[in-house]
């Protein structure tokens, strides 16, 4: 999937924003910091409309095990369901497509910054496959154990440079048909760095965005 980066041109570009755009192009997104997440926003209900082929037959039966892609029309809509995750930040970039959504936020004055990427996914990757991918990326894949994911047949992974929760990285949540990637970024003496949100925040934000 190729995300359209044109919308970024319509926002003022600061240091954090420029870093985010650079990381998107390099396929290594940076993102924002959050310490608490609530689920008081309206969830993004997936589009459950069944498709019909030219014979008039619905394909519901073939997709019962796959989560419909969330009906996301703007990143302002995403902001509304994860207010605590992006608290103090403003939307600085977005790209909306039928099978992929990228939203980026940033706080002023070298404050925290965040990104959420939602993508269509054919299958949930196995943990062995993710571990192999981690070796290729020089990252450690740590499973996120959360009963909320078990209840929807999902899988959570925290990617970090050395397996420690406070090391640079990001997180993924996979449910049948959809994946979501979260980055929790901040500035320090060495520059800008991306981190995985805390595991419980990762699951809360992902399920809110996916409308589960």
pTM of the model: 0.71
Give the torsion sign (CA, 79, 102, 184, 44). positive
Judge contact between 34 and 85, C-beta under 8 A.
yes
Q: Under the phi-then-psi rule, with left for phi > 0, alpha for psi from -120 to 50, and beta for the rest, what region is 127?
A: alpha
For residue range 29-68, list pLDDT tens digits in order: 333 333 334 444 444 444 444 333 333 433 333 334 576 7
Q: CA angle 101-107-112, nearest 5°?
A: 85
């Amino acid at each position: 999937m190729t995300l359209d980066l044109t919308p970024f041109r319509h926002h003022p570009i600061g240091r954090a924003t420029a870093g985010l755009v650079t990381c998107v192009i390099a396929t290594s997104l940076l993102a924002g910091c959050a310490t608490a997440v609530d689920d008081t926003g309206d969830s993004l209900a997936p589009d459950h409309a069944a498709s019909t082929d030219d014979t008039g037959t619905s394909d519901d039966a073939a997709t019962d095990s796959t989560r419909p892609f969330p009906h996301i029309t703007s990143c302002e809509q995403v902001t509304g369901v994860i207010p605590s995750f992006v608290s103090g930040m403003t939307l600085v970039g977005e790209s909306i497509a039928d099978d992929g959504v990228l939203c980026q936020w940033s706080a002023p004055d070298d404050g925290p910054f965040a990104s959420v990427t939602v993508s269509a996914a054919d299958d949930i990757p196995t943990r062995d496959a993710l571990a192999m991918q981690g070796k290729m990326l020089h990252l450690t894949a740590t499973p996120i154990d959360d009963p909320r994911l078990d209840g929807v047949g999902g899988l959570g992974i925290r990617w970090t440079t050395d397996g420690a929760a406070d090391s640079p990285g990001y997180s993924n949540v996979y449910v049948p048909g959809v994946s979501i990637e979260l980055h929790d970024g901040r500035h320090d003496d060495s520059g800008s760095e991306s981190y995985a949100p805390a595991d419980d925040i990762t699951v809360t934000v992902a399920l809110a965005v996916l409308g589960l």
